[in-house]
A and B are shown apart, each in its own frame.
Chain A
Amino acid sequence: MQLGNSIRAVALASAGMFVVAACGGSSTPSANLAPAAQQTITANDGTEPNSYDPTQQTYTYEAGVGRNTFEALLKSKPDLSDVQPAAAKSYDVSSDGLTYTFHLQPNAKWSDGKPVTASDWVYGYQHFLNPALAAGYVDPFFDGTIAGAQNYGSVDVTSASAIDSFLAGLGLSAPDANTFVIKLQHPAAYFKWVVTLWVAVPIRKDVVESAAGGAFPSTDTTKAEVWANSPATIIGNGPFKISEIVSKDHVTMVPNSNYWGGAPKIQTLTYDFIADGNTAFSKYQTGALDITGVPIADVTVVRADPKLSQQAHLFPTLTTFWMTFNTHETPFDNADVRMAFAKSIDRQKLAVNVLHDTDKAYAWFIPQGMAGADNTDNAQSFDPTAAKALLTKAGVTADQLNKFKLLTRNSSGSKTINQFIIDQWNTNLGLNMQLDVIDSHTVTTDIRKGQFDIYGPDGWGADYPDQQDWFDIFTSGSCRSLNWGCPTLPGYDALVQKADTELNQTQRNKDYLTAQKMLIDQAAVGFIYQQYEYDLIQPWVNYTHTAFDDQNLPGDNYYNTAYITAH
């Protein structure tokens, strides 16, 4: 998932390689369980979700709610090595890799007690793939894999019949109440990961239609979403259900007693929407908040405090950041020039000093913690002398470069990092470049049009721990739609394509490693750091910290097994 800017450790992807049974508890409840009245978790979600319909959720702070109220077919294993059953007990893949048959959990029930059937899944996927709703996560995960979904973007959304025939033509079927079959366009070893996304969930057709006041045409997007506006009609198949939504303040979830995996011990799960880090920080100190991110500015305060420093935890996330160069502008089409820029950033200083050691210097692409991470290639390491030599070798003068600007999003994190980076470039390369600070929205417009010289920090957080999610970013097909700088890397496209469809895991890994080497050695972009997350967690919260990416808050993928110890 693409990330903009923030270095605040609140509400972004988090993960960890190791399974940490944190805070002195293991997953099995110990004797000192707090009484039921105290089994509550209040966490700071940071921002209010735009929608409580999981198919429409695109940000981690939204998915954090979606994941707890709905459940996808499969789930990531805590150590990220593979997938494990979730709403689907098991699945089979046909030998040609084109048909996935999911056997649903036999006693799965909705929060209102009705059984979850395969046709609910078909309806859910169709609702998600309705072009009129323009769900953010359809492309490329689903329209690029599910049979018949290739034309997602070109369906006429003003015609209900066009939409209906598109949806009917998708490779989704329910041969019986407990079997959900998906057909693909082409073999995709990573598809098992795609179905773990929080957007791919079942939806109750009868609930949707009754909330809308009856059946409605597929073009009516307002009616299609009415059900998602009030807790009474948000019926999900996840371990929790929403009991209260107080707009701009919080959302409260209570256990779904009908959940097939057993009702959670936590009786009340509240997500606050406190956008200001300092406010959340104060609230945590009063004990009214159990889990919150530590704003970068308060890291020193937390570390200096004997009590707080015990409660703070640094988790790696599957997210890395880099600086992008517009290769359509000379001399950025020259790999040596890009490499010079990459090699003149002192990443250590950035991570340790500017970011207060809450992120780690990282000159590679795939983050530590997932398959494919490899830190052996040091081509981009900090070396100002070598950097200057590269510039000279490329025959580029300071005057040529001084007219370039570093496009910066108008947020505190981006501004701080970019002021540091441009200072590094100016000092280490003898330049005098300027920042170009514009509001975040316009920055996105500009990079989509290719109207920039240098842009950053640009980043990526894994949607799932498979390399396919990452390497597609830099294909030439992604030029101006993720691959902002459009560097041309001979052989890259073919290699990635091969690896994406390859079914042999060892071979895939090898291919992806070669692709990463290409990215690093030709300085497609300048990698700078891997994001970590610094959170405060009250000592009485027992949770299973998993290495699952896209997790919003520590442990929120497994809140159904969390509990509070007596305190």
Chain B
Amino acid sequence: MAVIAGRSRWGALLPARFSTLFESRGASLAVFIVRRILWMIPIVFFVIVITFTLMHLAPGSPWDKSGGRQLSKAVVDNLNARYGLNKPLWTQFLLYVNNVIHLDFGLSYQYQNKTVSSLLLQSWPYTATLGGLAFLLIVPVGVGLGVLAALRQNTRVDYITMGFATLAASFPNFVVGSLMVVVFSVLLYRWTGGNFFLPSSDFKLDDHLIMPVITLSLLSIAFTARLTRASTLDTIRQDYVRTAWAKGLPERIVVIKHVLKNSLIPVVTILGPLFAFLVTGSVVVEDVFNIPGIGRAFVVAVASYDYPMILGTTILFSLVIAVANLLVDVLYVFIDPRVRLT
């Protein structure tokens, strides 16, 4: 998602906000939230329809194992009966939707007798830790770099930070991840005989997470830095800032009190897409670094035609993104007094 270029994607979101003015912001806010929540229903439904259709277009049967002993036809028939796979597609679809409403995502085909929900719950902490740490890294570093570059526009500092930002943005995360492993795990090991920052499947909050978190964050840091720089530049040119300068206020106060607050407004708009990007980025990073999170579970599920797992993960992702977008939009309303609600 985050890889769409041009302002078109994010920009197109903004105009929708600047619409009719309601009398009370509180009431309109509530209405706004409710409407957005209601919108999630068709979105999730659409996601289910698409994923369901796609998965059932595939001719494979979930019982064909890629290795190990194959099940005999009679057993396969029995399994199909048990999971309702011998019913017509329509029926299966309706049954599935019905179950989803009751928050039952079914049993995984791959890990028989385990429910999709339990598997997702198991994988969730890994992804959440990764994403959370990345987020904590992206916002301060990205914003900090951007403000710094803006304040020191056209100096060496500006060029270096923006250069780094562009560089980081151009290397896809799996490329960055692999290169980091080369440098830190392989080459450093060879030169020093010690192991540094190995990729690992351990779930510990230790240095094993350094590489995956950095890999996940780099692109977004770059992007945030660039955005912050541009909006800070805009803000600096504003009259009230010039007035503050003219008054002789120290730079730090000017920055914090006047510039930062207003330049952060556009940055907030990207928090939603940022979240979405962390979600999809985790798919890549978890694969490269063997972290058993939801992203990895998704890739594995796709490869093994674990329909319930694929559907469940996709729905989860879509919901998470939709909720994040909603939260960001609400936040935006509070931050920017000029914003009107549709």
Contacts and interface: CB of A to CB of B under 8 A. Distances in A.
Tell me if chains A and B make direct contact, with any CB pair below 8 A.
Answer: yes
A65 to B, nearest CB: 15
B60 interface: yes
B300 to A, nearest CB: 9
A274 B291 CA distance: 10
B71 interface: yes
Given A154-B74, A279-B201, 4 more contacts: A157-B81, A246-B203, A282-B185, A448-B64
Contacts of B126: 248
A152 B76 CA distance: 12
Give the secondary structure class of B's interface.
loop
B66 A2 contact: no
A138 B69 CA distance: 10
28 contacts: A1-B68, A3-B67, A3-B68, A5-B67, A59-B67, A131-B75, A136-B65, A153-B73, A153-B75, A153-B78, A157-B78, A221-B82, A222-B107, A246-B203, A248-B122, A248-B123, A249-B292, A276-B199, A279-B198, A282-B189, A285-B189, A440-B67, A441-B64, A441-B305, A442-B59, A445-B61, A445-B64, A482-B70
B290 A274 contact: yes
Contact of B198 (A249, A282, A441): A282
Nearest to B115: A222
Contact of B111 (A50, A139, A222, A481): A50
A563 B303 CA distance: 40
A328 interface: no
A283 interface: yes
B60 A4 contact: no
A134 interface: yes
Contacts of B303: 439-441
Contacts of A166: none
Contact of B64 (A1, A132, A444): A444
B19 to A, nearest CB: 47
Give the most central of B58, B69, B292, B304: most A CB within 10 Å. B69
Contacts, number: 130
A221 to B, nearest CB: 6
Contacts of B61: 445
B81 A158 contact: yes
Contacts of B336: none
Contacts of B234: none
Contacts of B58: 442
Contact of A139 (B64, B72, B201): B72
A155 B74 CA distance: 9
Nearest to B110: A50
A3 B113 CA distance: 24
A132 B58 CA distance: 26
A286 B199 CA distance: 13
A136 B290 contact: no
A486 B208 CA distance: 50
A134 B113 contact: no
Interface string B110-130: 111100000000110010000
Contact of B113 (A225, A273, A283): A225
Contacts of A273: 201
A195 B261 CA distance: 74
B71 A136 contact: yes
A448 B72 CA distance: 11
B202 interface: yes
Nearest to B79: A134
B195 A132 contact: no
Interface of B: 58-61, 64-75, 78-79, 81-82, 107, 110-113, 122-123, 126, 185, 189, 195, 198-203, 290, 292, 303-305
A122 B69 CA distance: 24
A275 B286 CA distance: 13
A443 interface: yes
Contacts of B66: 4-5, 409, 440-441, 443-444
B71 A279 contact: no
Given A481-B70, A481-B72, A134 B78 contact: yes
A283 B61 CA distance: 37
A444 B203 contact: no
A274 B201 contact: yes
B69 A153 contact: no
A249 B201 CA distance: 7
Nearest to A12: B67
Contacts of B81: 157-158
A5 B202 CA distance: 27
A248 B69 contact: no
A2 B69 contact: yes
Contact of B195 (A1, A51, A247, A285): A285
A155 B61 CA distance: 21
Contacts of A152: 74-75
Contacts of B75: 131, 134, 138-139, 152-153
Contact of A153 (B68, B74, B290): B74
Contact of A249 (B64, B189, B195, B203): B203
A139 B69 CA distance: 9
Nearest to A60: B68
A2 B68 contact: yes
Contact of B112 (A6, A50, A154, A276): A50
Nearest to B113: A225
A154 B73 CA distance: 10
Contacts of A247: 122, 292
A270 to B, nearest CB: 12
A247 to B, nearest CB: 5
A154 B122 CA distance: 36
Q: Which of A131, A246, A448 gathers the greatest number of chain B CB atoms within 10 Å? A: A448
B72 A132 contact: no
Contacts of B198: 279, 282-283, 286
B186 to A, nearest CB: 9
B200 A279 contact: yes
Contacts of A3: 67-68
Given A440-B303, A441-B60, A157 B68 contact: no
A137 interface: yes
Contacts of B195: 282, 285-286
A223 B199 CA distance: 38
A58 interface: yes
Nearest to A6: B67
A395 B122 CA distance: 60
A222 B82 CA distance: 12
Contacts of B107: 222
Contacts of B65: 58, 136, 444
A218 B189 CA distance: 56
Contacts of A272: 201
Contact of B67 (A4, A56, A138, A283): A4
